[in-house]
Structure 1
């Protein structure tokens, strides 16, 4: 799956963040993130980002046909297909996999039912972290999301599971 656009917005009525991922195949995945869930996954995202920034890999996107990413572009509504349904997945579990090549994967699950897997290259991981921080600030969640990877976070190499 190739990500075309990523959007994270505050849903103040639900008190959740809504992450929307649009693909090049005109599919759209929607995921709800709660304050508690974001607080739990942030150290793992921050650590993945720190590793990626410490060991940058050449981006294959340099020769891509896509236009450069911009936060100003509106999210395109092209009558997408919703492979997980139009109701957003309520993320309650996360698995993180990091590769030695600077790429990672985040798998979000709704209980033991629906799940979504997102491959994260350096550019996408940076955009995701930036958008999560901005949306949590807009929601006034006061999480103090910093990019400092906690030294006390210990997980087996390659995988970590949160729930």
Structure 2
């Protein structure tokens, strides 16, 4: 499968991220990414991409003894270089004919990531429904070169900024609970 385009959109009414992938074969894969999933996935993807970029940088020189700041600088430089050549202006092509995963997006419950030795990063997105239901597990695997991976990370980063998922939960100070109270003085909860 050859990836043609990717779209990552935060949908506030769902409080989920919808990730869509168009292939050159005219197929579209759709996946829901939840906050719970992204809490663990984001640091893993960041680490895998950084390690892979450092391997590319160190192909000509040894970085084994380099300090962490230098390694981070080199990885950040490579990421910026990839982003400069990426195309984020072309609109996502809607209305693909084939939906191999079905009409309903895959609700990703876990992701298996295989770090590359010298090849692309392999990501396997899994939907494991509850054992008591009659739904069958679904999954989708894709391979990503560093440039494409950096593009995906950029799109995910923008969606997470829009979702405000990175902002910590703040407990209101005593006496500030007025914002969480209804007109009748009782606590008010969202969702």
TM-score using structure 1 length: 0.77
**Which residue matches 1:139?**
163
1:102-113 equivalences in 2 (<5 Å): 102-111=119-128, 113=137
Superposition CA RMSD, Å: 1.9
How far off its partner does 1:50 sit? Answer: 0.7
In the alignment, structure 1 residue 89 sits paired with structure 2 residue 106: yes
**Which residue matches 2:27?**
27
Runs of 4 or more, structure 1, over 4 Å off, are: none
| Unaligned stretches of 5+ residues in structure 1 | 59-67, 145-163
How far off its partner does 1:47 sit? Answer: 1.2
Flag the structure with higher helix content.
2
Flag the structure with higher strand content.
1
Say how many residue pairs are matched: 135
**Which residue matches 1:128?**
152
**Structure showing greater relative contact order (alpha-carbon pairs closer than 8 Å, 6 or more residues apart):** 1
CA distance in structure 1 between the aligned counterparts of 2:166 and 2:47, rounded to whole angstroms: 20
**Which residue matches 2:52?**
52
CA-to-partner distance for each residue in 1:87-117, whole Å, 9 max, x for gaps? 1000001111012115210101000600010
| Unaligned stretches of 5+ residues in structure 2 | 60-84, 130-136, 169-191
TM-score using structure 2 length: 0.66
How far off its partner does 1:77 sit? Answer: 1.9
